[in-house]
Structure 1
Amino acid sequence: MVDFKKHVNRKINRDFTNLVSFFDSLDRQTSHIELRTVQQDALRILSERRLERDLILKISTGTGKTAVGLLYLWSFMEEKHLPAVYLCPTKQLREQVHAEAEKLGLKSVIYPANQPHPDVEGIRGKAIIICTYDKLFNAKTTFDRSDVMLRPYAIVLDDAHAGVEEIRDCFTLCMSGTNVHRQLVKIFDVPCAKYKSAVWNDIRSEDPNQMMEIPYWIWKPLLPEIGQIIGSQAKDNKLKFVIPHIRDILRRCRCVVSGAAVEIIPDILPVYKSPAYDKAKHRLFMSATLADDSVLVRELGCDISAAEKPITPANDRGMGERMILAPSLVDGKLDRKWVMSLCGRLSKKLNVVVLSPSEPKAREWESVGAKICSGDEVKEAVEGLKDTSGTSSFVVFKQRYDGIDLPDKSCRVLVIDGMPIGEGILDRLDSSTSGFAGGTRNRLIYRIEQGMGRAVRSHADYAVILLAGNELAHFIAKHDVLSAMNPDTRAQLELAIDLSKMATEDGGADPKTAVIDMIKKCLNRDDGWKQFYNETVRKSSIAASGTTDPNRLMLANAERCAFELAISNNLLGTVKLLQDAIDKYVSDDPATKGWYLQRVANYLYDVDPGQALEAQGAAHRDNKSMYCPPGGIIKRPSKVEESDAQAIVSKWYRQFQNPNGAIAAINELKAKLSFELSHSVVEQALCDLAPLLGAQGSRPEKKGGPDDLWLWPSLSLVIEVKSENQKSLHKKDAGQLSSSMNWFKENFHARKNPVPIIVSKTTLCDRDAYFPANTRIITSAKINELLEKVEQFYRKMIAEPLIYSTAKSILKSQQDFLLLPEQFCGNFTEKPQKLK
């Protein structure tokens, strides 16, 4: 029987504006009776700034940030009776957050993959919804199903540094070893081979280590074809979770091609396509390791005011003690194999954990007694490591740089086994590019930092971190790598470099003995080591600022705002905004300036291609990692006299306010005249090419005529495009060209001796294919030769203004480059050949 009297006046009055007292009102487990001082600090500041939409909380590992995030969400959920979502980068962390909520006395529900509807209690705002980033951000998210339409009032983004990478994956179209990859490579083949022949030849040869980003002046004219290819994959089991995010903003995407894969990703993430995130009233970004908050501004649209004033609790004592050692920096002979042997011996007395980048690398550790754990074995292995009642363990996890917590004795020695792999080709390209500025990220650095954070889970904890292998050791010694780490990690890595010097300088011990002695001093809690660590690391990390350089923040915000203007087709506003930001906030570092100038040039290309190439030239001069422009100089010649074919050349050239626009247009034609594109694209490109040669171009096909028609005063070309034919020309092709010739004779009585033209990959004809008399063929090779001469002609016109001053001088230059109509057929066409 229900006694309704028991349910009268049960509502508890809670002060939602005081999260500390809110915690006190919860029915908690005994393990969570008291808040730590650092948690109290964080909750007080969150209470004071509770009305702000975006907040960034930077708090050390092991200080209880999960509880802080859960309390933040629960207060809004209780107050507004609306859903709240806690985002995690991995399934393991999702489970941990769920367990933490239970200990706090907070109801939570997990919203896993493949579950279409969230728990009813979560929808009603009675339980916190916990899920991974990809659950919310994929393009087919169930958050947006018509029968769900889940719109959280508040969101916590835990481990935001890793979350950014997870979200980028949701917007990245990756195609490797597929027909789509091959189709895209074919589309890019002609212009990319012209742009960077050596690199492109390696890509043609399927070299997986060679990569190239497609320049925007090649990318833009090919977008219709690219869009069709991508659209054809909309039902692919993997790609369908990304394609809806990017198919309508391909112009604003970057594309990188390697011999093994193609990746396409927006330069700025269009997070507005994830309304559950974009429309949330409150968002809390939490991280223990994020050093550069501008990444949240640029990538996720975090309010810049939140990044200018991150929450950094005063009583946060930082991370625990980590002795990071790179043995190969002490002596080159202390390589990975030596580290493996050493760990085999250490594992007899204490737990040793190895984070390996791949299955083959992980298997090599079996030779020294390690156990490889993957999949469902990971959870059991972690529990075994935490069970201190048993014997020591020696465990290797492959590609597990986050989602595993190994405090205290569960891991006293942690090995980062060489450089993490598994990055996409865009990440690899960006990692090797100089000048990357505010808001860009480096997944490699994040993975190393996350990996080192698996051990030492509190201020009082300690462990030895061994960096195995020469490549990793030298990578962490780079200044730009250290500057990208958070202050604690940076101080510890700087100490690692100092320790490598001290190992050989103090006492003259041999390198092996020196390294082992250092390890023992940490593990045996040597007083001298602890005092030295406190003096060199703790003080320096406490003194380090918790805020990002204001100029980096302003530039990141400018890029985000510029992207949003471009999406709204306000390209002039985009260019002005970015240029103003460069003038105000970019330092004297030319590499950084070049990086931003390339972004300006990319946007400007849609408005003024000539001026865009001028800006691209400036970007390349400042930073050689940026695209080298196709060329052209900016001096404007005087007006030409009007005279027939030369007048058409003059009229075409004069349409560009900046002469570089002519070079840009020629490069677009090069891209579109690839025979790997559809015949309709090639037909239009041929029509567009005609005026550059002084001819009138048209496409009379819809009126019963040829695909293309080029008319000079003294020459007529009747053109049929068969660029998709592979081995030979057929009887049907000959019939079409004959019909087009008949159409021409009926419609152009006064023009004598038209030349029938076939545009084809081959000059071979079937035996039964009888083409009209004097038929000529333009092959792809001849097209390329023609385009080279056209570009040389216009480059000379730009460089020598007097050429442009009279029709006679234009004619003379055309003759020099074999571009007069009477020179055309002899130089750029071939005779058809019958198959034998």
Structure 2
Amino acid sequence: MVDFSKRLNKPKRESVLDPVEIYAGLDRKADKGELRKVQAHVLSEWHKRLRTQRDVIVKLHTGQGKTLIGLLLLQSKLNEKGGRVAYLCPTIQLIEQTYNQALDFGFKVCKPEQGEPLPAEFHDGKAILITSVQKLFNGRTQFKLHHQSLALSALVMDDSHACVDSIRDAVSLRVPRSVYDSKGKVTGTHPIYEKLFNLFSGALREQGEGTFQEIEAKKANALLAVPYWAWKERVLEVTRTIAGHDEDDLVKFVWPIIKDRLAECLCVISGAGLEITPYLAPLEDFGSFWKAETRIFMSATVTDDSFLIKGLRLSPETITKPLTYPKESWSGEKMILIPSLIDDQLDRGAIVKEFGEPNQRRTVGVAALVPSFKGTKDWEKYGATIARKDTIEDALNALRTAGRRAAAVVFVNRYDGIDLPDDSCRLLIFDGMPYGESLIDQYLQASRGDSESSSIRLARSIEQGLGRSVRGEKDFSVVLVVGTDLVDFVRQRCTRAYLSDQTRQQIEIGLETAEAATEEIKAGKSPMTALRELIQQCIGRDQGWKDFYVERMDQLKAEEPKPKGLKVFESELEAETEYLSGNVDRAIKTLQDLLDTTKMEESERGFYLQEMARYQDRSSKAKSNEYQKAAHKKNRFLFKPVEGFTVEKLAPAAGKRAANIAVWVSAFESFEQLKLAVELILTNLSFGVAAETFEKSLQKLGAALGYTAELPDRQWKAGPDNLWCLQQNDYLLIECKSEVLTDRAEIYKEESGQMNNACGWFHRNYPGANLTRLLVIPTNKLGHGAAFNESVGIVRGTELSRLVRNVRAFFQEFSKVDLHDLNDAKIQEFLVIHKLTNDEIKSGYQKDVYAGSVR
């Protein structure tokens, strides 16, 4: 072989470190042109200012070539120091895509093969390893754990926020209740679930008898967290139980991580399974990440990086000083529309039907994002393709292939890691709030749903979801936002503030566009026709729309990122770290300082008091219980304390009912906002809606109608689903069975028993008070063995629909008046007209129980 280097007239060149020069020397494919300005800027800035800095966040718009930037930074470090370097993808599906892209650019790369050791080229520092974050973060990682971990010179973590979620999944033990055979038939209960459920049944009963009964009855959405004191007392038995199954596929990849820190884990048990997760992900176990010499974290401009303080243990300085491109304030084109604001007829049901039905003439992809498989039923009914774990690749290929786009594709809880550029998705339907599916997420949403950290998490998921269909600066897509809870989040200014400047501006453009469409509807155009024409103006590249969009988006100014919640996440991390180090007093002081210096909702203060109680439990049970009592008093959705627990009676609202309604109504800036809030409540008051959602909406309805209302079963862990105080010493007790099928023929014995128990709880805590009892269920016929101890009115679908109709008509009256100059007498008149007086509420929306046999 000829050694051409000996024939050079100039000395042999040294390894190139400047990533811009590295790119110039790559043997890339002919279609891979020069670096974009943004890429050249970021690479040069890193090389000049930041190459010696250990942690750097690269924060750019979607589609600006972050993958190529990450590869070049790794190559620069490889040239400088040798050693191992790795590029971590957030999902396994993205490995192949990134690997092929790297080859096209001329990089020397390798990837792990199933069942094989990590490639020799990686170990020898001769190639960049392309792998997934899951490959590194698991209890049997080939990168090894603790002091045996492989040393890395550098790593790039692509889509860092998605990686945080993947890491948490990797350190969480999830055990289903049921065991299935190869044909999908239930063969029994998983032994870990069975033993832990029995072990903690007493503690769970104390936290909520009604919910415990639902868990016992295998209701999937019924869940309770095991109180920290009960968990710690029985952690040895928990350890023995799980250790006996440490070779099970469910356990073996998690057990090495959690086996020695089970005491500091949260356990949530539902009717369908259980989940055990460390309060703080033990990143230090993964030395390849924890001790890597250089770490580059990729982030989109639309996401708030403050969450990475706790999720990846990054410093506030790293978060607040990302590497950006300051000359571009926005990228890509999104027509974000809220159909229900264009016209009432364009509700979720109408959108699902219109776009869920296959269309053989469809030339561009239509995709939908839903939070759970439960939300796919109507999509599937109309003929949409549901992307499941084993079919997701085929579903993606259908969207990417011309001629296969007739059916809409529905992705479940896939708000990141799915790229749908160009014609693969020109219409994205964002269907419902992106709540997490994990039991821990559900528990936290229930216990601290109004917190700033929860709002930041939700905003992050919304931003990620909105970005699935626009993957570059020239890409474009229409996004339809449906589902009352999601619409409320993006519509209300207080929550919209958690979204990025770019997304907020796109929403404003959408609202302005919706107003124009509404005018056309008033002129005689059908609502669906108006919506379809708007969609076509974007997809069909109407020049007027394009100019309008650019003009509005150019009003944005490029600004430095302003992460929210920095202090909150920093304090949470500091407190948990101090506690795990044995410094209980310092951990408690850290959270107390946060409470003393930060404005937050009372319910969120309760959450931090519970954290302080958990810390104090290590050194003083009595002091811990005092903190827990204070926590529960501020937030009834937290753990009920061991001692000193008393039910506080629900008192009537101050002043007259009409005046209370006036206060509620006047809190809205406009009738449109009022209407949206009312619809958010009423849409969830129908059979088929999840129990928790239905019950919370019913409580909100009570407040909207001028009453005080609470959720005793969730707040006091006993009692009815809903309790309204109509006036002094006059109450309405409501038990809800919203998940019962509408064709149910009879009321079961268990359901009448729950009503009897709820009434007994009321009489113990409200002796002598007047009570009206209602059961919301599709049938008024008592089944075998079912009986009520007291008179109970039945609210079936007919009665519920009439109530919803009358409430909607009542609040529609406020479209004609000044919301901030309301007349109590006029409000009372509206109540009478729409049959919503106290007497009507108590007796006008119920059916008598039919006790005749239907068997």
Question: 2:644 matched to 1:629?
Answer: no
Is the partner of 1:35 in helix, strand or coil? coil
Alignment partner of 2:245 out of 216, 222, 233? 233
Is residue 264–residue 278 contact of structure 2 (8 Å, CA) maintained in 1? yes
For structure 2, list consecutive stretches of 5 or more residues without a partner in the other structure: 178-189, 646-855
Check the 8 A contact 1:555/1:582 in 2, yes or no.
no
Instruction: Give the drift of 1:290.
Output: 5.8
Q: Output the CA distance in 2 between the equivalents of 1:451 and 1:67.
A: 23
Task: Report what 2:319 is aligned to.
Answer: 307
CA separation in 1, counterparts of 2:313 and 2:445? 23
CA distance in 1, matches of 2:561, 2:364: 34
Verify the 8 A CA contact 2:146 2:285 in the aligned structure 1. no
1:270-669 aligned at under 5 Å gives the runs: 270-288=282-300, 291-343=303-355, 344=357, 348-355=361-368, 357=370, 379=393, 382=396, 385-386=399-400, 393-399=406-412, 400-418=414-432, 423-434=437-448, 446-470=460-484, 472-474=486-488, 476-477=490-491, 482-497=496-511, 499-505=513-519, 508-509=522-523, 510-537=526-553, 539-540=555-556, 542=557, 545-549=560-564, 552-584=565-597, 586-632=598-644
Q: Is the 8 A contact 1:385 1:393 kept in 2?
A: no
For residues 387 and 161 of structure 1, what CA distance do their matches in structure 2 show? 29
Whether 1:210 aligns to 2:213 is no
Measure, in 2, the Cα distance between the counterparts of 1:608 and 1:305: 36
Report the alpha carbon displacement of residue 149 of structure 1 after superposing the two structures with TM.
4.8
**Conservation of the 8 A alpha-carbon contact between 2:173 and 2:251:** yes
**Contact 1:594-1:619 at 8 Å conserved across structures:** yes
Q: Deviations over 1:506-550 (max 9, x none)?
A: 66144223322322222233344334433444534x45651313x
What is the match of residue 151 of structure 1? Answer: 151
Partner residue in 2 for 1:56: 57
Counterpart residue identity of residue 511, structure 1: P
Letter in 2 for 1:107: K
Deviation at 1:247, TM superposition (A): 1.9
* CA distance 1:94–1:484, shift in 2 (3 Å): farther
Q: Secondary structure at the match of 1:85?
A: strand
Instruction: Give distance in 2, aligned partners of 1:365 and 1:204.
Output: 31
SS, match of residue 491 in structure 1: helix
Q: Contact 2:358–2:408 at 8 Å: present in 1 too?
A: no
- Choose from 183, 193, 210 the match for 2:195: 183
Matched residue, 1:44: 44
**Structure 1 unaligned regions, length at least 5:** 634-836
Name the CA distance, whole Å, in 1 between partners of 2:192 and 2:260: 18
Whole-angstrom distance in 1 between the partners of 2:456 and 2:275 = 16
**2:464 corresponds to which letter in structure 1?**
Q
The 2-side partners of 1:146 and 1:435 are apart by 36
The 1:238–1:369 alpha-carbon spacing in structure 2 relative to 1, beyond 3 Å, is: closer
| Contact 2:359–2:406 under 8 Å retained in 1 | no
1:319-347 superposed Cα distances (whole Å, 9 cap, x missing partner): 31111223234344334453345335876
Deviations 1:33-76 (A, max 9, x none): 31111112221232211211111121111110100111111111
CA shift for structure 1 position 279: 1.2
Q: Is residue 316–residue 570 contact of structure 2 (8 Å, CA) maintained in 1?
A: yes
Structure-2 residue corresponding to 1:764: none
CA contact (8 A) 1:558 1:581 kept: yes
Q: Which residue of 1 aligns with 2:707?
A: none
| Match of residue 105 from structure 1 | 106
Determine the C-alpha separation between the residues in 2 that align with 1:466 and 1:233. 46
| Structure possessing the higher radius of gyration over alpha carbons | 1
Partner Cα separation in structure 2 for residue 341 and residue 206 of structure 1: 32
> Displacement, 1:412?
1.9
**Are 1:260 and 2:272 counterparts?**
yes
**Kept after mapping to 2: 8 A contact 1:59/1:316:** no
Question: In the superposition, relative to structure 1, how do residues 146 and 481 fare at CA in structure 2: closer, same or farther (>3 Å)?
Answer: closer
* Superposed displacement of residue 23, structure 1: 2.5
Deviations 1:435-456 (A, max 9, x none): 6757668776655443332222
Contact 1:427 1:443 in 2 (8 A): no
- 1:72 maps to 2:73: yes
- Whether contact under 8 Å (1:330, 1:501) holds in the other structure is yes
Q: Is the 8 A contact 1:435 1:623 kept in 2?
A: no
Corresponding residue of 1:246: 258
Q: Distance in 1 between matches of 2:138 and 2:256?
A: 9
Q: Greater CA deviation, 485-494 or 93-102? A: 485-494
The structural deviation recorded for 1:218 is 2.2
Residue 103 of structure 1 aligns to a residue in which SS? helix
Deviations 1:282-336 (A, max 9, x none): 1111122662222111022122220121222113443311112232343443344
- Aligned residue number for residue 22 of structure 1: 22
CA distance in 2: counterparts of 1:361 and 1:611, whole angstroms: 44
The structure-2 alpha-carbon separation of the partners of 1:493 and 1:46, relative to structure 1 and needing over 3 Å to count, comes to: same
* Shift in Å, 1:109: 0.8
Contact 1:404/1:454 (CA < 8 Å) preserved in 2? yes
Report how far residue 632 of structure 1 moved: 4.0
CA RMSD of superposed structures (Å): 3.3
Alpha carbons 2:303, 2:463 under 8 Å: kept: no
CA drift at 1:126: 1.0
- Following the alignment from structure 1 to structure 2, what is the Cα–Cα distance between the partners of residues 374 and 218? 37
Q: Which amino acid aligns with 2:629?
A: G
- Which residue in 2 is equivalent to 1:139? 139
Q: Does the Cα contact within 8 Å between 1:14 and 1:22 map onto a contact in 2?
A: no
Aligned pairs (5 A) from 1:669-680: none
Is the contact made by 2:85 and 2:153 (CA closer than 8 Å) also made in structure 1?
Answer: yes
Deviates more, 1:449-458 or 1:180-189: 449-458
Q: 1:185 to 1:148 in 2, by over 3 A?
A: closer
Q: Which amino acid aligns with 2:579?
A: A
Q: Secondary structure at the match of 2:503?
A: helix
Aligned equivalent of 1:802: none
More deviation, 502-511/439-448: 439-448
Matched position secondary structure for 1:142: coil
SS at match of 1:140: coil
Structure 2: distance between partners of 1:433 and 1:361 = 23
Code of the residue aligned with 1:413 in structure 2: it is L
Alpha-carbon distance in 1 for matches of 2:378, 2:99? 36
- Which whole-Å deviations, capped at 9, do the CAs of 1:776-806 have from their partners, x for residues lacking one? xxxxxxxxxxxxxxxxxxxxxxxxxxxxxxx
Q: Quote the Cα distance in structure 1 between the aligned partners of 2:506 and 2:446.
A: 24
1:639-788 equivalences under 5 Å are none
Aligned to 2:638, the other structure's residue is in SS state coil
Where 2:237 maps in the other structure, the secondary structure is helix
**CA, structure 1 residues 226+372, in 2 after alignment: closer, same or farther (shift >3 Å)?**
closer
- SS at the partner of 2:325? coil
**Counterparts of 2:162 and 2:391 in 1: how far apart (Å)?**
23
Report the Cα distance in structure 2 between the residues aligned to 1:561 and 1:359, rounded to whole angstroms: 37
Any conservation in 2 of the 1:253–1:265 contact (CA below 8 Å)? yes
CA distance in 1, matches of 2:539, 2:471: 16
The question of whether the paired residues in 2 share the 8 Å contact of 1:37 and 1:315 is answered with no
Find out whether 1:166 has 2:143 as its counterpart. no
